[in-house]
Amino acid sequence: MNLAEKERTLAGRYLLIEDPQERLAAITAKGKRWPSPPDEQLLPEALVAGCVSRVWLTAELRDGRCYFFMRADSPLVQGLAALLCEVCEGAARDEVLAFEPGILSQLGLDRSLSPTRLAGLRGVAQAIRQLASALA
């Protein structure tokens, strides 16, 4: 399954939750379970630029696949950033580099989040690609 198909499948699961607030609560709950970087990796260079809430993002390459670790100060941001990480989780490096996630708009979140929050999440998506690019 390529990343676009994975993204559509993931979005479809969340869209089964009809109430937008319940959907956002499910995304936030998922974020609480997302793997976090160890405390010693919570360094300034791991902070995502452009986020109002602090978001630390790290990655590793295992068997040619990208795996992401993330922690955020805000539970909502943690959930939304985890959603972006989940789309790319386990994908080949080159596929992550070529992919522009659209799951936020597929879920209608681009209409309900503030412009500042959306800009921060675009920063998370960009950081995911930058980390994938740095993995060798």
CATH number of the CATH domain containing 24: 3.90.1010.10
- If one counts the domains in the chain, the total is 1
Q: How confident is the model at residue 33 (pLDDT cuts 50, 70, 90)?
A: very high
| Residue 95 phi, psi dihedral angles, 5° rounding | -70, -40
Q: Calculate what percentage of the chain has a pLDDT beyond 70.
A: 100
Nearest to 87 by CA among 40, 134, 30: 30
pLDDT single digits (tens) 75-89: 999 999 999 999 999
Full domain range(s) for residue 76: 3-134
